Structure 1
Amino acid sequence: MLVHLAIKDFAVVRSAELDFARGLTVISGETGAGKSLLVDALGLLSGLRADSGVVRHGAERAELTAGFVLDDASAALAWLRENALDESEDDSVCQIRRVIRADGGSRAWINGRPATVTQVTELASLLVEIHGQHEHQALLARSSQLALLDAYGRNAAELIVVAKAAEAWSELLREREALLAQGDVSDRIGWLEHQFAELDREALEPDSLLKLQADHRRLAHAAGLITACDGAFAQLGGDEGPSLSRALHHVRGELQRVAEHEPRLVEVDAMLDAAAIQIDEALVMLDRVRSDLDLDPDALTQLEHRLGRIHELSRKHRLPAEQLASQRDSIAAELERLRGADERLQRLDGDIERATATWRQAAGILGAKRRTAAAALSKDTTALIAELGMGGGRFDVALEPIETGRPDPQGGERVEFLVAANPGQPARPLRKVASGGELSRISLAIEVAALGLDAVPTMVFDEVDSGIGGGVAEIVGQKLRALGASRQVLCVTHLPQVAAQGHAHYRVSKAASEGVTQSAVQSLDAKQREDELARMLGGVEMTREARAAAKRLLADVE
């Protein structure tokens, strides 16, 4: 629920702060005073596109802030937690802030943390639902009519299933068309087979390449390695001449003869014993290495030829040697796809047929729910438009099957809203017969009929009561007040009958200050509300009759 709205340097408003409660809050004011600016501010805080024109003349930037409590907005709270934008101290509140600079740039914050406009839009859609004064024109578009019916029928889950089934069908069709577009691929297969054969003749895995390079280095330096190993073996433990092993054995014998006179020499002997063991192990390793070494020019030549072929493949494919194995595997995969193209085409025909059947089943379930919702919406809206001054009128929701032969992500039917404004007349498409006033009333009737079908806690109406008056206006006000029993409702209105139904009332006024027109927003007490209703009833001069009528309006609500 919206609890606070702060506006600074926005359009003709220098500064305004409004607090809101549950129920119906009405906003009134003279024509041109800026009543709808509050709705515009909420629209920008809901992610609408901003431009520098909204910044008050002479100011550097406009600042908008909205505060919400989330007791009745579990979906918004879940979104905040999912996006790590929930408050650490109190997760039952939320703040959206937006700044629009005079140069056209803008920034947004959620709970004090920078946020994208997309994030603001997603969050605001779970908190606020805005019905602009021209929004009822959307009812003339059949796509909007379908969306409204699906919202009324709670068809979101079925729509997702239908859309996924249609996309699966489309993907299979695209694959089939791509295979058909390849035409004769025999030349491509032959070329790929030649490339694959060249790559497959070599061991190209990283471990094999490392071993090849190590073997080449060993054979290329075999003579030097043999000389070094023989020399080391002779010096460490050779049978002829002095060696380190025999010298170490001699030293240990000398120390052992006198160790009884100096205990620390026992530790020295232990260290020399460990060294002797290490030397023996080194001699074993040297012998093993030496036995593996051999001067083999033919083997060296073969290794050089293999390295040369691998380097040539690297140049040919313009890839490092380490990536040749992946290139070989990619060619093999493409060959498999091309060789199996005919078989895949045959399988695709069956897959497409099954995908079509899956879509038809899902679309049938959605269509059945739409027919049930259409009957209920027709009945409820017809009853309400009669209350709103269109007695004898009739509202129908007609469903028309689509015969395109292609699975449609929106389902198997389209919607047409039909209306008969007067008794005895045939129902005709809404876009052809409804006047502006009738369209406004039908729009409001549908909104009331759909009451409680979504979880958005705050609903904003911007002069949706335009084009009506008298007793009908009073009924409109009553419907909005009833809406406020289960939702927080904000309504910008010029009708006193509607304004009188509000649980709270704000007045927007304008005045010139230093040659600049500015708007101000004031919360009205009981006496001020009476004066405002009298003004709305009687115009500039508040007559005794207007005041009396204003009192009656307020008394009737109480």
Structure 2
Amino acid sequence: MLLQLSIRNFAIVQSLDIELQSGMTAITGETGAGKSIAIDALSLCLGDRAEASMVRKGADKAEITACFGLHNLPLAQQWLATQELQEDEPECVIRRVISAEGRSKAYINGAPVSLQQLKNLGQYLVSIHGQHAHQQLLKADVQRELLDSYANHPNLQQELTKRYQLLLDTRKQYQQLQDNQQHREARRQLLEYQVQELDEFAIEDGEFEQLEIEHKRLSHSQSLLEQSQLSFHQLYDADDINALSIIQHAIDRLSELQAHDASLTPIIELLSEANIQVDEASQQLRDYIDDLEVDPFRMQQVEARFSRAMELARKHQVMPEGLYEYHQSLAQEFSQLQQDDNQLEALAATLEQLRQDYLQAAETLSQSRQKAATKLADKVQREIRQMNMSQACFSIQVRFDSQLAISRHGQDVIEFMVATNPGQPADALEKVASGGELSRIGLAVQVIASTNHKVPTMIFDEVDTGISGPTASVVGQLLRKLGKDAQVMCVTHLPQVAACAHHQMLVTKFSDGKTTETHMIPLEQQQRIEELARLLAGDKLTDTALANARELLGL
């Protein structure tokens, strides 16, 4: 529950510190005194949009701090723990600072946070029902939210949302594939021809480089053979004179002279090594000549394949060395396109199954809503019949329609129906209920729908507008009953409602002609009597008004 609210330089508030208690608290004051300022400030703490105009004139910033007790609030504690914002004490302090330029900062337990984090935490702490909540009740989505709030089936809603999102994502994927199908088919046909052509040629990895080498060798095979044979003859095979015999003769002559001059020794050693090298080179050259063959048929084969590789490379605008990789990439793309076509068929079947799963979840949620609708309608009808609508009949229609466009909220058409007079057929709220009747119905629905909420603090900002007399007493008792299990704050101008509260606070406004300030003070019993008398009779406190005030308080 909300324990304390501190406001600094917000709107016409210079400084305000409010201690709050459990049960029902009524907030009263003259029109224009600023009864809703505390609620506006608290709304900022819970993530509402900040504006520069909210900062008190002359101040450099506005600051609002709210302290909440977290006893018996496992969802709020769990959220704080998940966000690593939990303190040792079972309390939570939220602070919002707005600069005069309109910039805003937010903190939870001293740590800076985003506005979205404030909103996420706020849903576990406070529920605010504004002045125009009754008009909002005419909207279909608000009616659905109120019914879901009373039904208290978040697991069913989450399951439906999960299936809806999965269906939506799969449908988007299917639509993208389908939209590109014509382009893919044209591309697939082109690739089919290209891949088939390259498959027939079937070049292997590194083959072109080998073809190029062999093509050069075969193209010059005759000259290679002739020059190799001549070289072998000169090195080794010539009878009259060859390189090997010349070197050997030199070694023999110098060896005879070595005894006369030792400096010839290293020269002889070098010639001996040269002799060995020439001999080995001659043997390898002979092997090369034996293996070298002039094969016109092989030349034709290599020439044809080499030329075809060059032709395909030019055709596909790639380097001939990259023809193999290009072939593989086209084949992979072609395979992927075929898989996409198969995937399109598979996705169509998956979509239908996901739609059936979604409809099943939507129908389960609808059944839960229908059960809750009957109970909620009975309770609302009992309450409004005590609010000077004794003949009213209230019902909630929940109609499941599988033909509706899919929605994360299900396939239900939900409508609040009312008949205010005997014999009158029930019809939609906006067609039947007057402003005052709508106020009573709206308040009853909000209060009863809130009973299943796990939110510990509920605020009603002048939701009793359009209600007076005995009906106001019933509204007050309804809010007091709600305050037995939750913290309820109600901004009201009705003494009958204020008298039902466990506590009462008075909002006053003071102006010295230059500046204006708003104050909020808790009232003791005698002060409550005087404030209720003022609400009953105006500024002049008569004995009759005071007596009526005591009677309202049950004194």
- Give yes or no for TM over 0.5: yes
- Residue by residue over 1:204-225, the C-alpha shift from the partner in whole angstroms, topping out at 9 and shown as x without a partner, is xxxxxxxxxxxxxxxxxxxxxx
Structure 2 match to 1:106: 104
Partner of 1:149: 147
Rounded to whole Å, the distance in 1 between the matches of 2:525 and 2:329 is: 79
Q: Is the 8 A contact 2:13 2:56 kept in 1?
A: yes
CA contact (8 A) 2:163 2:357 kept: yes
Partner of 2:211: none
Contact 2:146 2:446 in 1 (8 A): no
* TM-score (ref. length: structure 2): 0.74
Helix, strand or coil at the partner of 1:17: strand
Structure 1 residues 93 and 337, CA gap change in structure 2 (3 angstroms): same
| Residues 290-329 of structure 1: pairs in structure 2 closer than 5 A | none
Q: 1:498 Cα deviation (Å)?
A: 1.1
Match of 1:471 in 2: 470
Please give the alpha-carbon distance, in whole angstroms, between the structure 2 residues aligned to 1:329 and 1:170: 35
Per-residue displacement from partner, 1:523-556 (whole Å, max 9, x unpaired)?
Answer: 1111111111111111011111111111111126
State the distance in 2 between where 1:440 and 1:175 align.
Answer: 47
**1:160: Cα distance to partner?**
2.3
Q: Any idea what the Cα deviations from partners look like across 1:181-207, whole Å, max 9, x if unmatched?
A: 22153553445976999999659xxxx
Query: What code does the residue aligned with 1:396 have?
Result: S
Question: Structure 2 vs 1, CA of residues 38 and 202 (structure 1 numbering), >3 Å: closer, same or farther?
Answer: farther
Letter in 1 for 2:14: R
> 1:249-280 CA deviation, whole Å, 9 max, x = no partner?
xxxxxxxxxxxxxxxxxxxxxxxxxxxxxxxx
1:402 is matched with which residue?
401
Cα pair 1:367 1:413 within 8 Å, conserved: yes
> What's the secondary structure of 1:103's corresponding residue?
coil
The Cα offsets for residues 356-385 of structure 1, whole Å up to 9 and x where unpaired, read as 222222222112111111111111111111
1:166 deviation in Å? 3.0
State the 1:121 CA deviation. Answer: 0.9
Residue 406 to residue 36, structure 1, CA distance change in 2 (3 Å)? closer
Cα distance in 1 between the residues matched to 2:125 and 2:346: 48
Residue 500 of structure 2 corresponds to 501
The DSSP-based 3-state class of the residue aligned with 2:391 is coil
Q: Which residue of 2 aligns with 1:2?
A: 2
Q: What's the counterpart of residue 67 of structure 2? A: 67
Residue 178 of structure 1: how far off its partner (Å)? 2.5
Q: For the residues of structure 1 that align with 2:503 and 2:76, how far apart are their CA atoms?
A: 26
Identify if the C-alpha distance between structure 1 residues 196 and 84 changes in structure 2 by more than 3 Å, giving closer, same or farther. Answer: farther
1:40 correspondence with 2:31: no
- Aligned CA RMSD, in angstroms, stands at 3.0
Q: Distance in 2 between matches of 1:199 and 1:76?
A: 67
Aligned equivalent of 1:136: 134
Structure with higher Rg: it is 2
Asked if the contact 2:395/2:418 (under 8 Å) is kept, the reply is yes
Q: Measure how far apart 1:85 and its partner are.
A: 0.7
Give 3-state SS (helix, strand or coil) of 1:521's partner.
strand
1:450 is aligned to: 449
Which residue identity is paired with 1:498?
A: V
Unaligned runs of 5+ in 2: 207-312
- Going from structure 1 to structure 2, the CA distance change for 1:405 and 1:39 (only over 3 Å counts) comes to closer
CA distance 1:394–1:186, shift in 2 (3 Å)? closer
Report what 1:248 is aligned to. none
Q: Which runs of 5+ in 1 are unaligned?
A: 204-311
Q: Percent identity?
A: 40
**More off after superposition, 120-129 vs 181-190:** 181-190
Distance 1:446 1:14, change over 3 A: same
Is the 1:196–1:332 contact (alpha carbons within 8 Å) kept by the matching residues of 2?
no
SS at match of 2:553: helix
Q: For residues 200 and 469 of structure 1, what CA distance do their matches in structure 2 show?
A: 94
- Superposition pairs of residues 361-376 of structure 1, within 5 angstroms: 361-376=360-375
Whether the aligned pair in 2 keeps the contact of 1:72 and 1:457 (CA below 8 Å) is no
Partners in 2 of 1:490 and 1:199 — Cα distance? 83
Question: Which residue matches 2:264?
Answer: none
Counterpart in the other structure of 2:386:
387
Aligned match of 1:174: 172
Amino acid in structure 2 at the alignment position of 1:11 = A
Moved more, 396-405 or 433-442: 396-405
What whole-Å deviation, never above 9, does each CA across 1:106-135 have from its counterpart, x for those lacking one?
Answer: 111111111111111111111010011112
TM-aligned CA deviation for residue 404 of structure 1 = 3.2
Summarize the Cα distance change of 1:111–1:502 in structure 2 as closer, same or farther, 3 Å threshold: same
Q: C-alpha separation between the residues in 2 aligned to 1:527 and 1:385?
A: 33
Q: Deviations over 1:36-78 (max 9, x none)?
A: 1111111111111111111111111111010011003211111
Corresponding residue for 1:266? none
Aligned residues of 1:13 and 1:520 also touching (Cα < 8 A):
yes
Give aligned pairs, total.
Answer: 441
Contact 1:26 1:504 survives alignment (8 Å): yes
The aligned residue for residue 252 of structure 1 is: none
